[in-house]
Structure 1
Amino acid sequence: MRRSRCDRCLRPAGHCLCPLIPSLPNHTHLLVLQHPSEQKHALNTGRLLALGLQRAELLVTELLSDHPRWLALLQDPQWQTELLFPGPQVPVLTASSNATRPRRLVLLDGTWRKARKLLHLNPVLQSLPRASLPAGLHSRYRLRKVPQAGALSSIEAGVEALRLLEPQLPVEPLLLPFDALIEAQINAMGQDVYARNYPR
């Protein structure tokens, strides 16, 4: 028999994270563009990020051409829309001192390979101004072997972006369900197995 799941966080009903998920009043709108292969991942941090913010949406797709509404929104000149994605000469994300337009930040949720695929398949994403996070950040994601130093999970990237854009917003509560999820996974596998597979 399949275990019942929470319709909101998609966790098994007995391990629902919803009581830990905040509802933060952010001003910057976040679009979390999630690769379909990430949707049923046990550690679905893009979903947790979108659930914890009042101005955020999760879109699960490979092709934005299947979503005409979002194609139009991402090209709307009345919005300042940027893609958070690192690369050579990509400037570090900064707060706008004289913002005249509402701001939207697009995050790609998936492995590095899948995130690059999302960028490759969607010309509208390639046309957006890009921004990156500062160097030297460290992930608390103890259950994923990152491909490079400084790689963050989607929820951590969103938190760090909001720290820069909205320093008055208390973003730390966004990480409570993330930390609980990691602890539950480690407890389920056992400390010995965890230590062997994820050495510090």
Structure 2
Amino acid sequence: MTNSYCFVGEDFTHHTELNQLIGDSDYQHFVLYPGETSVNYQVVKNTLTKKNKVRVILLDGTWKKAYKIWQLSSNINELPQVHLPPDLEGNYRIRKAPNKNSLSTVEAGYHILSLIEPEMDFSPLLTAFEQMIDFQIRQIPQEVFARNYR
């Protein structure tokens, strides 16, 4: 069963509820962050056979904001880092990204969940995401969209 939690802020070092979750020894914790010491998602998948519960933390925000959260939150920064396969490409067409394989949080969540639990269907995440993007694009005047997003 997949549980999700959502916390708002920048520095989670002293965040009581998050620290309780991280302190739960029934789980192996990872942060989905493509840092220099990050390991391939396969390590997380292999952990499932050794210890049945895995919790992956995603940092939501712009790349700059995620980096700030990463820098400020020593509790998150101390967790093992995991990254997704490098050949994945994001489809967040209305945002500028550092490179083609930069994913939105929803896309990253979809991919890590699908890789860890391939027997489950997480496609509704991407369907809702695509519908949100299409809605936002329809709100942008066509000439502005053509000039800035194509």
Q: TM-score, normalised by structure 2?
A: 0.89
Give deviations 1:30-64, integer Å, cap 9, x for gaps: xxxxxxxxxxxxxxxxxxxxxxxxx1111112222
Which structure: greater helix fraction? 2
Shift of 1:89: 4.3
Q: What's the counterpart of residue 108 of structure 1?
A: 59
Q: Secondary structure at the match of 1:104?
A: strand
Q: Percent identity?
A: 36
* Comparing 108-117 and 85-94, the one that deviates more: 85-94
Q: 1:166 aligns with which of 89, 110, 117?
A: 117
Q: What's the counterpart of residue 69 of structure 1?
A: 17
Q: 1:154 aligns with which of 81, 102, 105?
A: 105
Written as runs of structure 1 = structure 2, the 5 A alignment for 1:76-115 is 76-94=24-42, 95-96=45-46, 98-115=49-66
Displaced runs of 4+ in structure 1, greater than 6 A? none
Shift of 1:99: 3.6
**Structure 1 residues without counterparts, runs of 5 or longer:** 1-26, 29-54
CA–CA distance in 2 between the matches of 1:77 and 1:185?
42
8 A Cα contact 1:75 1:124, kept in partner: no
Q: Secondary structure at the match of 1:128?
A: coil
Q: TM-score, normalised by structure 1?
A: 0.68
CA–CA distance in 2 between the matches of 1:159 and 1:99?
23
Root-mean-square deviation (Å): 1.6
* Comparing 166-175 and 183-192, the one that deviates more: 183-192
Residue 114 of structure 1 aligns with an amino acid whose one-letter code is K
Shift of 1:66: 4.5
Q: What's the counterpart of residue 137 of structure 1?
A: 88
**Structure 2 residues without counterparts, runs of 5 or longer:** none
